[in-house]
Homo-oligomer: A and B are copies of this chain.
């Protein structure tokens, strides 16, 4: 089967899988402007930290492709405006800001309108290709930690759909399976938006990898029964200064339970998910619409007037994390502060 891609450039527009409709429908959305891309990110038609990074870069590429301005300053102004709209979509994942910065730097450094256009589009396409390569390296680094027969718990979707392709957590699992290891995945459904049930199960079944679905609150009981050998989850932002990991709501709960039962708890994320700049208290944890909790599809689950708290992410402290699997190697959380985004790092 063809390798799954979540996003690609197609003749002056960008095509994404509309992940809100999975697994019921595999439908593609054609996106023509940065504004449309911003909406797709905000509404979570595309989601996952690495994927929204590339989506934002592609959003800027769309502006570069369409902008008719001939004056360099006007052209840059349009790009800056698009960057602003894209930055305002989701506050927590660092990849979004990293990607926009990377593209805007290229743009500002280019000399003519034609060069800006060409360089921005090329850089966005390059980032998409890099993402897949990064994940394959990350996958190989992670697969070394995986034993034949391992039962692995994961949360949310850190798969091909959360990246451009191959995935981070699911990249590790795919690499282990490609090495001939027999792996069983327990996918937590991941309330409220059910990315585990809808996306992770779908991706793994598509690849013929063994997967069983549980509700999030069953994970600790599986661990108690000795059914989980490792937990691997993604990251939306890793704070290098302290080693805290911000990831999909529910991650913390699994990390605490894994610690209680002495089960290794790994993060799998590209280097671009590491924030070398901010302190934890500077990060905004996105709170989303209460209706995400109150409804599953069209089914309302609680009385009218119910008050809801709906944070999209939580924070896992470094003492609960066994290792952070990246394309450059596997790090302990406390090692990150000694690195920098430019450093070569270890491993591959």
Contact = CB atoms under 8 A, between A and B. Distances in A.
A260 B253 CA distance: 10
A308 to B, nearest CB: 5
Interface in A266-307: 293-294, 296-303, 305-307
Nearest to A307: B212
Contacts of A197: 301-302, 306
B213 A216 contact: no
A191 interface: yes
Interface stretch (A29-37, A56-64, A217-225, A334-342): A217-225
A82 to B, nearest CB: 33
Contacts of A23: 302-303
Given A24-B300, A220-B252, A299-B299, A215 B202 contact: no
B189 A301 contact: yes
A347 interface: no
Interface in A178-215: 186, 188-192, 194, 197-198, 201-202, 205, 211-215
Given A217-B249, A252-B220, A260-B256, A296 B301 contact: yes
Contacts of A220: 252-253, 256, 314
A181 B309 CA distance: 23
A103 interface: no
Contacts of A308: 212-214
Contact of A293 (B189, B302, B303): B189
B256 A293 contact: no
A250 interface: yes
A115 to B, nearest CB: 46
A290 to B, nearest CB: 8
Contact of A302 (B201, B219, B309): B201
Contacts of A302: 23, 189, 194, 197-198, 201-202, 213
A311 B218 CA distance: 8
A121 interface: no
A314 B311 CA distance: 26
27 contacts: A186-B309, A189-B191, A189-B293, A190-B217, A192-B215, A194-B301, A198-B302, A202-B302, A205-B303, A212-B308, A213-B302, A213-B307, A214-B310, A215-B293, A217-B249, A217-B253, A218-B249, A220-B256, A220-B314, A221-B315, A222-B309, A224-B314, A224-B315, A252-B257, A260-B260, A296-B301, A298-B299
Interface of A: 23-24, 186, 188-192, 194, 197-198, 201-202, 205, 211-222, 224, 249-250, 252-253, 256-257, 259-260, 293-294, 296-303, 305-311, 314-315
Kindly list the 10 A-B residue pairs having the minimum CB-CB distance in the complex, ordered from nearest: A217-B250, A297-B299, A296-B296, A191-B215, A221-B314, A220-B253, A23-B303, A216-B217, A197-B302, A197-B301
